[in-house]
Amino acid sequence: MKGTGPHTTRLTAAAALTLALAATGCGGGAADRDENTVRIAYQKFGTFIAMDSLMRKVKEEFEADNPGVTVELQAIEAPAEDYQTQVNLMNGSASQAPDLIYQDSFTINQDADAGYLMPLDEYFDAWEDADEFSVQEAQAVTSLDGQRYGVMLGTDVRGLWYNTELLEQAGVGTPWEPATWDEVLDAARAVQAEFGDEVTPLNVYSGTPAGEAASLQGFQMLLSGTGDALFDDDSQKWITGGRGFTDSLGFVRTVFDEGLGLDVQDALDTNVGTVNNEERFPSGELAISLDGSWVTQSWIPGANRPWDGWEEVMEFTPMPTRDGQGAGATSMSGGWALSMGGQATNPELAWEVMTYALSRENAIKFAIEGGQIPVRADVAEDPAFLNEAPMAEEFAALVDITGFRPAYSEYPRVSIAVQEAMEAVMLGEATPEEAADLYAQEVEGIVGPDNVTGGS
């Protein structure tokens, strides 16, 4: 039934860690740190199992090959924003700081500015595998000061996942290749007319509990389809206002005003992505979702709740631009990296563990299990990846048209402002125009009036 799935109440990871640090009296020096121990902090949450699988493999094999060395895994079970807060708290204590950090690439600038990360240029340039990494990979992990602060494990793309059986029963032909936003909405309306409340026609992540999923999978996937952006590279200013911004909020309003999306209480569940991919899609309760290439890791063997036969039901299609203009489709890409903590106890050993985790063999494993697009040329060409990675060709086709977040230090706060604007619209608290005005005021307060420019 539409609206099923747990609504989660949680103690934030940040609060839990604060209690732990207080209990242990942490916060002083790192004199008690063992130089033969490499502590790795990484996210383990919901459907995202690929990193945990990789880290357990790295620990087992590296320790076996290097007697006396301990790879200490700090798996943090928290959504992205709480995960980032918890890692920041760890970085505030020399004795608790991670040696290696699983890092969302958009946070690299702010963490480098805060002194939480160590520059890696010297290590990376001397690494024999360095030439295998793409130019785009380097751009994603290089901060505004020109230094490299991470090495990416892989990247991703975003588009529309859909249940072929539900669309066909609703009279929507498959393979489905919508050419405009209106065609996406019309397919959702057809599902609604056929199934009523039994099926959610269209998921678009929105609101602050969804965090970056709302601002990237949701809003920026829409905004990029209008030809507009959050940041103007030419003037180096944040863009506030403009038709594209308002139209994107208008799409969100339509989804929720017409009852095409999840019930609001379910859409505002922090676990909405996990419930969508582990419960709603497999049970036939969700028809279409604007989401990422990685969702296949919810369904493959070894997942939390594997879905046998998903390949026969689920398909992926590009998200069209607003009116079919430009390339006709759009995507946004992100991706996670391994970074070295600014207080790493033994940087040379930490780098050894890091490059072991980033090896060709491990990068293939991560790409296949995590639904990733490789950033290593030798992995992208490897027969094991090409033969085993779900939908590799469909995802790769979007690489040439994909965009990236403006990953400057202010972006995480701007992202929250986007989420708040979406939430105001989805709850009916503001029109798209009113929400856009509030966003403009908030961004000006974040970056300063001299660092904003009006939209087209």
pLDDT of 14 higher than 80: no
State the burial class of residue 113 (Cβ atoms within 10 Å of its Cβ: 0-12, 13-18, 19+).
Answer: middle
Element at 454 (helix H, strand E): strand 452-454
Q: Is the pLDDT of residue 10 over 50?
A: no
R_g of the chain computed on alpha carbons:
22
If pLDDT is split at 50, 70 and 90, which confidence band does 30 have?
low
Domain boundaries, the chain: 36-155+334-400, 158-333+408-454
pLDDT number for residue 16:
44
Residue 47 is predicted with a pLDDT of 64
Residue 13 reports pLDDT greater than 70:
no
- Average pLDDT, whole number, for the chain? 91
Gap between the Cα atoms of 244 and 253, Å rounded = 14
- pLDDT band, very low/low/confident/very high, at 213 (cuts 50, 70, 90): very high
At 43, is the pLDDT very low, low, confident or very high (cuts 50, 70, 90)? very high
pLDDT of residue 350: 98
Average pLDDT over residues 365-377: 91
Q: What is the pLDDT of residues 101-149, one digit of tens each?
A: 999 988 999 999 999 999 999 999 999 999 999 888 998 899 878 899 9
CATH number of 158-333+408-454: 3.40.190.10
- Determine the average pLDDT of the residues in 89-98: 95
Inter-CA distances, 106 with 184, 255, 335, 410, Å: 29, 28, 8, 10
β-pair partners for 39: 72
Report the pLDDT value the prediction gives residue 284, as an integer from 0 to 100: 98
pLDDT at 24 over 70: no
* Predicted pLDDT at 370: 87
pLDDT of 299 strictly over 80? yes
Residue 324 has pLDDT above 60, yes or no: yes
Per-residue pLDDT at 80: 78
CATH number of the domain at 36-155+334-400, please? 3.40.190.10
Helix (H, G, I), strand (E, B) or coil at 22: helix
User: Model confidence over 232-278: pLDDT tens digits?
Assistant: 989 999 999 899 999 999 999 999 999 999 999 999 999 999 999 99
For 413-419, what is the mean pLDDT?
Answer: 97
The pLDDT assigned to 81 comes to 79
CA 421 to chain centre: 19
Residues 171-180: what's their mean pLDDT? 98
Indicate whether 205 pLDDT > 80: yes
Q: Can you list the alpha helix ranges (DSSP code H) found in 229-343? A: 243-257, 264-267, 272-275
Flag whether pLDDT at 410 surpasses 70: yes
Contacts of 422 (CB under 8 A, 6+ apart): 206, 207, 214, 215, 218, 219, 249, 252, 435
pLDDT tens, 345-355? Answer: 999 999 999 99
pLDDT at residue 21, rounded to an integer = 41
pLDDT recorded at residue 106: 87
Q: Find out whether 319 and 331 touch, Cβ atoms under 8 Å.
A: yes
Question: Could you read off the pLDDT of 247-256 as tens digits, one per residue?
Answer: 999 999 999 9
* pLDDT recorded at residue 31: 57
At which residue do the structure tokens 């939430």 appear?
423
What's the whole-number mean pLDDT along residues 30-54?
86
Q: What pLDDT does residue 15 have?
A: 42
Each residue of 178-191: pLDDT tens digit? Answer: 999 999 999 999 99
Measuring CA to CA, how many Å separate 31 from each of 245, 345, 428? 51, 9, 55
- Tell me the pLDDT band of 429, cut-offs 50, 70 and 90: very high
Let me know if the fold of 36-155+334-400 is the same as that of 158-333+408-454. Answer: yes
Which pLDDT score is estimated for 17? 43
pLDDT at 9 over 60: no
Q: What is the pLDDT of residue 253?
A: 98
